[in-house]
Structure 1
Amino acid sequence: MKKIKLASLMLVAGCASNSGIIPIGKDTYMVSRQAATGFSGSGTLKAEAFQEASAHCAKQGKSLQVVSTQEAQPPFLLGNYPKAEVQFMCLTDGDAELARPKLKPKAEVSVEVKNAY
C-alpha cells in the first residue's frame, strides 16, 4: 500500500512544469510556470517567472522589459492548474522601447457602442 501511495505522489509531483526561456521574436522571450495540481494555488508562480526572466536578461548584460503577463483563472480542475506566463524583452540601456511597464488587464469582452444620433 505504501508503494502505491508513493507512486501516486510521484505522478502528481511530476506534473509541474516550467517552460524555460523560449525565444518568440527579436530580443523577445516567454517563460511560464505551472503548478502540479489545482490544490496548490498560484502562489509564487508569477514571481518565479519574473525572476527567471530577469536573470536571463542580466546574463546578457541587458535590462528586463515586460511585454505582458497572463495567469490561468479558476476553477483549477481537469488540467486547468495555476499557471503564470511572462512575455518580455531583453534590451540595452538607452533602447527606445525600454520604459516603465504599462501593464493593464485585458478585457474579456469588448462592446461596440454606435452613436444613435
Structure 2
Amino acid sequence: MKIVLVLAVAILAGCATSSGVLKSGPDTFTVNTSASPGHGGTASAKKSAYDEANQECAKQQKTINVVEERASTPSWTDGMHAVDLVFKCQ
C-alpha cells in the first residue's frame, strides 16, 4: 500500500512518465506516456511517445508506421494525460 501511495503522490505532483518502448509482436511495438497538465498534458505525452517511437525505428534504420494512437485522461489520475502508441518500424 505504501508503494501505491508513493507512486500516486509522484504522479499527482506533476511529472511525465513513460513505459519505454516495449515489443508487443514480431514487428510491432508500444509505448505508453503520460504528462500532468503542468508538464504539457496530452501534447507533451504525445510528443514523448512519438519521440521514443522514432528513436526506436532510427536504431533499426527504419521509419515509423503508426498502427494506433489513443489519448486519454483516466479519472483516477486526477488530470494526468496519457497517450498509448502502437507502431511498426518499416
Q: TM-score over 0.5 for the alignment?
A: yes
Question: What runs of 5+ residues in structure 1 fail to find an aligned partner?
Answer: 1-9, 92-117
* Partner amino acid, structure 2, of 1:46: K
Aligned partner of 2:89: which letter?
Answer: C
Would you say the 8 A contact 2:70–2:83 is kept in 1?
Answer: yes
Q: How many residues align?
A: 77
Counterpart position of 2:5: none
Q: Shift of the alpha carbon at 1:43?
A: 2.7
- Tell me which residue corresponds to 1:34: 34
Bigger strand share? 2
Distance 1:47 1:27 in 2: 22
Task: Find out whether 1:88 has 2:87 as its counterpart.
Answer: yes
Compute the displacement of 1:45 (Å). 1.2
Moved over 2 A (4+): none
Unpaired runs of at least 5, structure 2: 1-8
Q: Does structure 1 retain, via aligned residues, the 8 Å contact 2:69–2:85?
A: yes
TM-score by length of 1: 0.57
Q: SS of the counterpart of 1:61?
A: coil
Q: Normalized against structure 2, the TM-score is what?
A: 0.71
Q: CA RMSD in A?
A: 2.2
Which residue of structure 2 aligns with residue 43 of structure 1?
Answer: 43
Residue 77 (structure 1) shift: 4.4
Displacement of 1:24: 0.3
Structure that is richer in helix per residue: 2
| Counterpart position of 2:77 | 79
Tell me which of the two structures has the higher relative contact order, counting C-alpha pairs closer than 8 angstroms and 6 or more residues apart.
2
Structure 2 distance, partners of 1:48, 1:16, is 9
